[in-house]
Amino acid sequence: MTTDWLKLDSKHCWHPFTQHGLDSEPLPVVGAQGAWLELADGRRLLDGISSWWACLHGHGHPRLVQAISKQAEKLDHVLFAGCAHEPAARLSAELVELAAPLTSQASPSGSQEPLARAFWSDDGSTAVEVALKAAYQSHLRNGESSRTTFIALEGAYHGDTVGAMSASEPAPFFEELSPFLFHVVRVKPNPEELAEAFQELEGRVAAFICEPLVQGAAGMKMYGSSFLKEAQGLCQKNGAFLIADEVLTGFGRTGTTFACEQAGISPDFLCLSKGLTGGTMPLAATLCTESIFQSFVSNERARAFFHGHTYTANPIGCAVALESLRILREENTPQKLNHIGERIETGLADLRENPLVKDLRRRGGIVALELQSENSGYMAELGNRLRAACQELDSVLLRPLGNVLYAMPPSCTTDDECALIVKAIKQIVVPMA
Ligand SMILES: Cc1ncc(COP(=O)(O)O)c(C=O)c1O
């Protein structure tokens, strides 16, 4: 077994969201194909969570591999300040086109502006960071300096950079960092609460940010689309932007290309990452309207948007994202994911009778099983037991969110593979009851 490098990992690597004093050794992954991860000891694990919700069509997809290698040969990287390249130009246009139905559906009268521009960054956190900064600064550019507050949802998770952490629920991850985070007003996904917040903060709200329909890290919490429709109306009425963080929900995860589609809303900012490249390369886009972009356009340099990362709009990432979008359209990935979700939900349905099961819920290809627990949430005691049980599985990779076990496999997952996921979840839950 070629695991000599694991010793190096253990000595030199610091893993994310990992308690090195508690968690068992990481899985030595040496390859991945389709829905499967291959381990150094020859075991194969079905990637039941799409490698942190990113792997969209399956690992090692030949068309994505080819897109990466073709682009790497032609143009690997170039700075995006003062330079342009075809993959970013085409991808920006394609994303704008993909998002266009949101506006025509949400606002047939034309009162809501379509998304027209893409700002590029590297991951979900930076996509959110860009939206928060640009939202506030766009108001500033328009002479509204009092709009210094953001409203977010309770339980939100928007990433690990300072702005994204501020917009996220402080507990359990970010409480200690509160001296460095800015104040954000939090509401439940309830129109009355949001309306009250807008009323109290009259003229001071820069934007309302939300994960539409599914709050991922909160434990795949799901809420109704009618709230989002009302939220859009409240944002418009109060002159605030609506930021939709579709880093998790984008590209078909909820059964439609974007979750906003089901809610009939068209945001002012749309944050995308994870599935954007099919889960192959780190890349993120923050789409916004033309008027937001124009608010930064001036003959004064100081009015520009001073933001940019070294790898902004990396050509390889953009090229593979273009190919991933082609696959999404040709194969109707949202529908495939929806079918997968249905299979898993149906397979798990008899667990609803299990005394340990509090809730079984689904949106598209995301299926979540919430278990009874004295304390719920990410730090739930039960979470440790679930995590240990998941690590014992010899066929499927699952990673609970506290007392919530969930599945969100890639779109190549077959019915038989769905059955394996169902079996693995039952293998964990049934003996625990
Ligand atoms: C809704 C949402 N926004 C933002 C992020 C942050 O993305 P990243 O981990 O790529 O920075 C995540 C990550 O899970 C997420 O689920």
DSSP for 244-308, please give it.
EE-TTTTTTTTSSSSHHHHHT---SEEEE-GGGGTTSS--EEEEEEHHHHHTT--SSGGGS----
Is-above-0.85 flag for pTM?
yes
Q: Is 128 in the pocket of ligand 1 (CB under 6 A)?
A: yes
Q: Which residues of the chain have pLDDT under 50?
A: none
Predicted local confidence at residue 379, as pLDDT: 79
Residue 155 alpha carbon to ligand 1 centre in Å: 13
Residue 433 alpha carbon to ligand 1 centre in Å: 32
Q: How far apart are CA 392 and CA 10, in angstroms?
A: 20
Predicted local confidence at residue 2, as pLDDT: 62
Q: Is 132 in the pocket of ligand 1 (CB under 6 A)?
A: no
Predicted local confidence at residue 111, as pLDDT: 81
| Domains defined along the chain, listed by start | 4-60+332-432 (3.90.1150.10), 75-331 (3.40.640.10)
Residue/partner pairs of 218-221 with CB below 8 Å, 24 or more apart: 218/155, 218/156, 218/157, 218/169, 218/401, 219/155, 219/368, 219/370, 219/376, 219/377, 219/378, 219/401, 219/402, 219/403, 219/404, 219/406, 220/361, 220/366, 220/368, 220/401, 220/404, 220/406, 221/155
Q: Is 50 in the pocket of ligand 1 (CB under 6 A)?
A: no
Burial 100-110 (b: 16+ CB within 10 A, else e): ebbbeebbeee
Q: Which atom of ligand 1 is nearest to the CA of 128?
A: 4
Residue 350 alpha carbon to ligand 1 centre in Å: 32
Q: How far apart are CA 285 and CA 313, in angstroms?
A: 8
Predicted local confidence at residue 381, as pLDDT: 81
Q: Which atom of ligand 1 is nearest to the CA of 211?
A: 1
**CA separation (Å) from 343 to 237, 335, 357, 358, 365?**
41, 12, 19, 20, 9
Instruction: Name the DSSP letter for residue 63.
Output: H
In the numeric block, the tokens 């009874």 are attached to 372
**CB count, 10 Å around CB of 175?**
10
Please list the alpha-helical segments (H only) found in 110-245.
Answer: 124-141, 162-167, 191-200, 225-237
Q: Which of 122, 157, 283 to mutate to test the pocket of ligand 1 (most atoms within 8 A of CB)?
A: 157
Q: Is 125 in the pocket of ligand 1 (CB under 6 A)?
A: yes
In the numeric block, the tokens 């932007």 are attached to 241
120: amino acid identity, one letter: W
Q: Which atom of ligand 1 is nearest to the CA of 53?
A: 14
Count of alpha carbons within 13 Å of 431, Cβ hemisphere only? 9
**CA separation (Å) from 351 to 46, 219, 239, 267, 382?**
21, 18, 46, 37, 17
Predicted local confidence at residue 210, as pLDDT: 98
Residue 88 alpha carbon to ligand 1 centre in Å: 22
Predicted local confidence at residue 380, as pLDDT: 77
Is there a contact between 189 and 227 (Cβ–Cβ < 8 Å)?
A: yes
Instruction: Name the DSSP letter for residue 374.
Output: S
In the numeric block, the tokens 């068209």 are attached to 266
Q: Is 123 in the pocket of ligand 1 (CB under 6 A)?
A: yes
Residue closest to 76 by CA, chosen among 386, 311, 392: 311
Count of alpha carbons within 13 Å of 331, Cβ hemisphere only? 20
Predicted local confidence at residue 24, as pLDDT: 87
Residue 73 alpha carbon to ligand 1 centre in Å: 30
Q: Which atom of ligand 1 is nearest to the CA of 274?
A: 10
Structure tokens at 206: 């820069």
Q: Is 273 in the pocket of ligand 1 (CB under 6 A)?
A: yes
Q: How far apart are CA 308 and CA 284, in angstroms?
A: 12
Residue 124 alpha carbon to ligand 1 centre in Å: 4
Is there a contact between 335 and 327 (Cβ–Cβ < 8 Å)?
A: no
